[in-house]
Amino acid sequence: MTNMQTDIAAGIDLAAGLFVSVGAATFDGIGYTRASYGEGEQRAHDIVAAAARDMGLVVETDAALNLWMTLKGKDPSRKKLIIGSHLDAVPQGGNFDGLAGVLAGLACALAWKQTGLQPKGDVVVLAIRAEESAWFGAQHIGSRAMLGTLAPAIFDQAHRVDTGQALGEHMQQAGGDLARLLLNQSLLDRETIRAYLEVHIEQGPVLVEKALPVGIVTGIRGNRRCRRVVCRGAYGHSGTVPRELRQDAVMGVSELVVAMDGLWRRIEEDGGDLVLTFGQFFTDSRRHAVTTVPGEATFSFDARSHSSETLQQVEQALLDHAARISAERHVTFTFDPMTGDVPVSMSDRLQRRLAEGANILAIPAMPIASGAGHDAGDFAAAGIPSAMIFLRNDKGSHNPDEGMELDDFAQGVRLLNWLVEDLDAQPL
């Protein structure tokens, strides 16, 4: 194996400058806004594409406008390695979520360029569109379009929250090939891909708490979500309607939350994996005054677990408790369609190689599960060997205060670069 570990400095410098450039181009006064198939995401793609061209990479886009930046290998028939992540960001989010992974790929590619060496097979740095669900209520749009797993109905059904326009309209306006995407066929040949690798900031506090710069991801939680649930009862005067005659929507929802919290506790006590979130609680302010029994309440529901069985158990319990509360409190629950993703595991072999690389490079690291979804999960679910490297990140994610340190980023790039060298050197 060649040793390019001493040659990543130029790549780190390149990434540091691009963090600044993309951040400055997408700062909204509070945080960093890069709307999927919108202006901010496009600015990020343009900046990154220009840097890739300057490096001598071959730059192309597919029908979904995913950005392919390829360091050509010696043998075009050899399976390619893909290093990918996304460039969109939630409204007023942070500068590192997604961007760090793409720039880690460019830093790795520059290490090859600096040595004058050419990999045996193509190494692709992939900037994926529309990973965040915040904009269209659907996540991983770019990767699923690429893999042929994005349902065609979504192009009309999903609307961006800030414009109200349909996903298909936004994609066409940005230059995407909607006719090609409506065929619901993969935009790539999975058999030509050796592995998908992704560097990403950790979106939780574990690595910070453990004082470790890097995590080796073991798997990604699946989820069950209902974006809108409505509990309907009856409005009444708060001073005149006794308890037994009330149809209080807020009380009904509150009882449901408490019941599900109890289930969560029992599953954890039994050693199971689960996180539950109820959110977006609303009553109609035009009708629900201080002296009014609330007749309607809406909320959202999100459950995540590494166990498909646990997710099924939670979904059924949610519906069962809602039915029981409806009968007891004389309210009704109406659920929008439940959506979800299955839990996925990262490649055992790639996890072992990353662990060995971290040991060789003396990079403190630990195995860690991902509670959030990532494009890597879609590649893994499609049967493509996939791996993720987490980077320590203070102050969480999806907020302007994301706190990734450049030194931690450099450690992640060193480990990524080691793995790319290792995989490229192995026979097919």
- At 395 the three-state DSSP class reads coil
DSSP annotation of 338: P
- Compute CA distances 26 → 46, 62, 84, 379, whole Å: 12, 23, 20, 28
HEC per residue, 213-240? CEEEEEEECEEEEEEEEEEECCCEECCC
- 227 and 155 in a common domain: no
Same domain, 26 and 137: yes
- pLDDT score for 2: 44
Same domain, 265 and 183: no
Whether 366 has a pLDDT exceeding 60, the answer reads yes
Mean model confidence pLDDT for the chain: 95
Residue 1 is predicted with a pLDDT of 43
**Average pLDDT for residues 117-124, to the nearest whole number?**
95
Where among 278, 310, 341 does a domain terminate? Answer: 341
* CA atoms of 123 and 104, how far apart (whole Å): 13
**Residues 19-25, mean pLDDT to the nearest whole number:** 98
Say if residue 20 is in the same domain as residue 47: yes
- Give me the mean pLDDT over the 384-400 stretch: 94
**E-assigned strand segments in 247-312:** 275-282, 292-293, 296-305
Distance CA 345, CA 381 (A): 8
CATH number for the domain spanning 313: value is: 3.30.70.360
The reported pLDDT for the residue numbered 314 is 98
| pLDDT-wise least confident of 67-71, 114-118, 405-409 | 114-118
Q: Are residues 199 and 254 in the same domain?
A: no
| Average pLDDT for 97-104 | 98
Average pLDDT over residues 73-95: 96
CA distance 258 to 255: 5
Same domain, 178 and 295: no
Domain check: are 237 and 351 in the same one? no
Listed range (67-76, 282-291, 352-361) with the worst mean pLDDT:
282-291
**Average pLDDT value for residue range 38-56:** 97
Does residue 306 share a domain with residue 391? no
- What string of DSSP letters covers 343-367? -EE--HHHHHHHHHHHHHHT--EEE
Q: Please name the residues in contact with 17: beta carbons below 8 A apart, sequence gap of 6 or more.
A: none
Q: Output the six-digit token pair for 202.
A: 């950790």
Q: Are residues 244 and 361 in the same domain?
A: no
pLDDT digits (tens, 9 = 90+) for 162-220: 999 999 999 999 999 999 999 999 999 999 999 999 999 999 899 999 999 999 999 99
C-alpha distances in Å from residue 345, one per residue of 85, 276, 373, 387: 17, 21, 12, 9
pLDDT at position 428 is 67
Q: Do residues 253 and 358 share a domain?
A: no
Question: What are the pLDDT digits (tens) for 318-327?
Answer: 999 999 999 9
pLDDT for 285 equals 86
Q: Which CATH number is 74's domain given?
A: 3.40.630.10
Look at strands 89-93 and 193-201 and give their pairing. Answer: unpaired
Place of tokens 């004082």: 211
E strand residue ranges, 180-273: 193-201, 214-220, 222-232, 236-237
Is the domain of 126 the same as that of 194? Answer: yes
Q: For residues 207 and 214, is the Cβ–Cβ distance under 8 A?
A: yes
d(CA 27, CA 323): 46
% of the chain with per-residue pLDDT over 70: 98
pLDDT score of 250: 96
Answer yes or no: do 61 and 193 share one domain. yes
Among residues 341, 357, 388, the one where a domain terminates is 341
pLDDT band for 288, please (50, 70, 90 cuts). Answer: confident
DSSP letter string, 57-121: -EEEE-TT-PEEEEE--S-TTSPEEEEEEE--EEEEE-SSTTHHHHHHHHHHHHHHHHHT---SS
Q: Is the pLDDT of residue 5 over 90?
A: no
Angle at 343 between CA 339 and CA 349, to 5 degrees: 150
Pair of tokens at residue 301? 């529901």
Domain holding 292, by residue range, is 223-341
Report the domain count for the chain.
Answer: 2
Q: Are 219 and 273 in contact (CB under 8 A)?
A: no
Q: Single out the residue in 288, 317, 341 at which a domain terminates.
A: 341
CB 181 within 8 A of CB 61: no
